Structure 1
Amino acid sequence: MLVEITKTALLNAVQHVIKAVAVNSPIPILQGIHIQAGEKGLSFTASNTSLTIHSMIPQDDVSVIVRRTGAIVIPSRYFYDVVRKLTDERLVLEIKEPLNLTIISGHSQIRLCGMDSSEFPNFDNGALSPNRLRIRNALFRSTIKQVAIMASTSETRPVLTGVFFECDNESVTLIATDGVRLASRTLPLESHTKLRCNAIIPAKSLYELSKMLSNEEESTEIEVSHNRVRFMANGLRVESVLIEGTFPSIKNVIPPSYLSEIVVDKARFLKAVECVTVLASENIIRLVASADKVKLLSRIAEIGDMEDEVPIVDSYGEGFILSLNGKLLIDILLNSDCASVRIRYAGKTSPMVILPDDSLMSVFLITPVRTPN
């Protein structure tokens, strides 16, 4: 193998795939990055068996020039750290002797011992499904940001560590919950499809994917099978296993009706919630809504208390009082890309519904906390 490549292109590709490296894997070869130089360009692949990331840099005689084809697997961390420290923009990657990769940059020359590429598992199993979904990157990334944060981090209920992904002809719905809060968002598809499918995708895999969707004007292609999901965008291919099990139904969770509704400016409301949560015992704050304002209260015994107010833009129904976890409410507001939010109250024992005022079907729920008085 003999390849000329720019440092920028190389680092960009390695930064993507290194997220899938199995750092503590008992299989040594999975701790490395598979590098393949072919006629079409230079590809990088890493996998921890649950998540596989493949990045391709096409040969364009500028970023990449393939002089001689070949393949090798090299230690991921050492390779990444070495390349980052090099100062020249043009690099040469060459296999001069078996299982050794030489990196040349200006007056610097580094030799890394590698592993046989033929021993690296083949994760390219062809198309998973004849039907592909397409979602614009900017929309898909913001949706992951809104929804995936609501997934549970506890392994006691594995299905709740994932995001429920459901396709129904013209739209795709993503849902996540940790049992206390819930987020749901429905996206229109770029082209109509007769495909109906559902899957539970690990929230961690979606997080990693969202960081890679840099070109907002392009689209992500999605393929779903019975046990895997594949995303293709920006020269990347990200493949993840699915979580087995049945995701809980949300049909009876979202209140069908409500007693009161208020609309507040999101930025002002978020700032007030962040302030009062500082002096909130166990992060529990009280929300008191009247005809023209929302009062936020918090208290820590022997430390002090705090009160703040936010004007109401619009309202319906009578005032209400409820207590909830301020930290969880902050997460919801931070991940709502809108100017104002609509808050619906359906009773003391019903979840509070938060609807971002945007053109998309986004719904957030947060369970109130029972407190004295």
Structure 2
Amino acid sequence: MNAIQYVIKAVAANSSIPILQGIHIQAGADGVTFTASNTSMTIQSMIAQDGFSLTVKRKGAIVIPSRYFHDIIRKFNDDKVILEIKEPMILSIVSGHSQLRLCGMDPTEFPSIDDGEAFPSTKLRISTSLLRSTIKQLAIVASTSETSPILTGVSLECSNDCLNLIATDGVRLAYRALHLEDATHNILNAVIPAKNLYELSKILNKTDDTTEIEVSNNRVKFVTTGLKVESALIEGTFPFIKNVIPQSYLCEIAVDTACLLKAVECVTVMASEQVIRLVANADTLKLLSKTADVGDIQNEIPLLEMCGEEFVVSLNGKFFIDILRNMDCASVRLRYSGKTSPIVVLPDDSLMSTLFLITPVMTR
């Protein structure tokens, strides 16, 4: 069931190509692999043969309709299931007192996860849990508008032992730098669809496993224990972001992350056009919003620290919430650089090289 739930995320539900609406099942000496694919992403999950949770009696392959297969397996009460091809292109499924047959399709017509040009020998290896948390922080910042396709992706730039990941929608920006322990002299530039990365983050485990990243001219592949995910890349040049990050600031405040998130969520409820106002005083941060003919709200939280002058700034509350919800730290720092400059949001943790920007909203 876990294997099916992983791969079904890549099923092309509305595809005009019938075989892409199916799940490819391959039984071999090492175990059983389940694969689903659409034009943008392929997911493959493997259950290893161990004689207990899985036994392969005979090799074979078939493609079967994903929706029926998923719904049927989910409804079974028995712990064990027998999958068998007794006649051409028909899969027999037996579990407890339940027996059924599903019409399948020719597995040779299904796209292989290793098709296309060979992957280069250049590979990156990264902690799976670190990759998972990084994707969650960046993917929500990427654009969802197809008017600028390059911004719907997350940029990966690798130089030697440093991997830089960047995402932006033109209003927000997220940046994170990761140190690669066993990296060779790698140089890499790729832009991966954020929606594919987000699906990857949901199926990566939280253990101390590692994930291998391989990039070719037009594809990227993520390989970890029992799982392979392949994605198309977005063509184009990702915008240069160094010059939009403020190099100096007029004020910096530190606040408790959970406390700030709760306050922002509260005042955004009453925010017209989701615009909230932040007022930083000597020892408190006030958050205000209003909607004409409905009402207004004010919330106040203590500052842990303040350096510089007081300031007032308006932000999109929803965008700010998305950033704060993915902060893995107890407190955050906000840097104010002027009325028209982006607000810099940093985790208050010297070990995390992460940075977020959010552009102020101009109000009267």
Q: Which residue number corresponds to residue 369 of structure 1? A: 361
> SS state of the match for residue 287, structure 2?
strand
**Compared CA separation, residues 190 and 62, structure 1 to 2 (3 A):** farther
- CA distance in 1 between partners of 2:99 and 2:56 (Å): 19
Q: Secondary structure at the match of 1:65?
A: coil
CA contact (8 A) 1:51 1:240 kept: yes
Aligned residues: CA RMSD: 1.1
The one of 240, 244, 247 aligned to 2:238: 247
CA–CA separation in structure 2 for the residues paired with 1:283 and 1:221: 40
- Select the residue among 62, 65, 69 that pairs with 1:79: 69
**1:49-88 → structure 2 map (5 Å cutoff):** 49-88=39-78
Q: Residues 36-66 of structure 1, C-alpha deviation per residue, up to 9 Å, x if partnerless? A: 1111111111111210111111111011101
145, 158, 162: which one pairs with 2:149? 158
The answer (yes or no) to whether the contact 1:43–1:54 under 8 Å persists in 2 is yes
Amino acid of the structure 2 residue aligned with 1:59: Q
One-letter amino acid of the counterpart of residue 138, structure 1:
S
Residues 1-373 of structure 1 aligned to structure 2 (within 5 Å) = 11-125=1-115, 128-358=119-349, 359-372=351-364
TM-score by length of 2: 0.97
What one-letter code is carried by the residue in structure 2 that aligns with 1:272?
A
Q: Secondary structure at the match of 1:56?
A: strand
Give 1:215 deviation, angstroms. 4.0
Paired residue type of 1:364: F
Whichever residue aligns with residue 129 of structure 1, its letter is P
Aligned length: 362
User: After TM superposition, where is structure 1 displaced by more than 2 Å over at least 4 residues in a row?
Assistant: none
State whether residues 215 and 234 of structure 1, in contact with CA within 8 Å, keep that contact through their aligned partners in structure 2: no
**Residues 83-121 of structure 1: per-residue CA shift (max 9 Å, x gap):** 111111011110000000000111110100001112222
- Indicate the percent of aligned positions where both proteins have the same amino acid: 65
CA contact (8 A) 1:133 1:222 kept: yes
Q: Is the 8 A contact 2:125 2:183 kept in 1?
A: no
Shift of 1:142: 0.7
- Once residues 348 and 203 of structure 1 are traced to their aligned partners in structure 2, the CA distance between those partners, rounded to angstroms, is 30
Name the TM-score, length of structure 1 as normaliser.
0.95
Cα deviation 1:118-172 (Å, max 9, x = unaligned) = 2222331385120211111111111011111000111000001000111111111
For structure 2, which runs of at least 5 residues remain unmatched after alignment?
none
Structure 2 CA distance, aligned partners of 1:280 and 1:119? 53
Q: Which moved more, 1:92-101 or 1:132-141?
A: 132-141
1:4 corresponds to: none
The CA deviation at 1:278 is 1.2
Distance across 2 between alignment mates of 1:192 and 1:38: 33
* Cα distance in structure 2, aligned partners of 1:69 and 1:340: 54
Match of 1:6 in 2: none
Q: Which runs of 5+ in 1 are unaligned?
A: 1-10
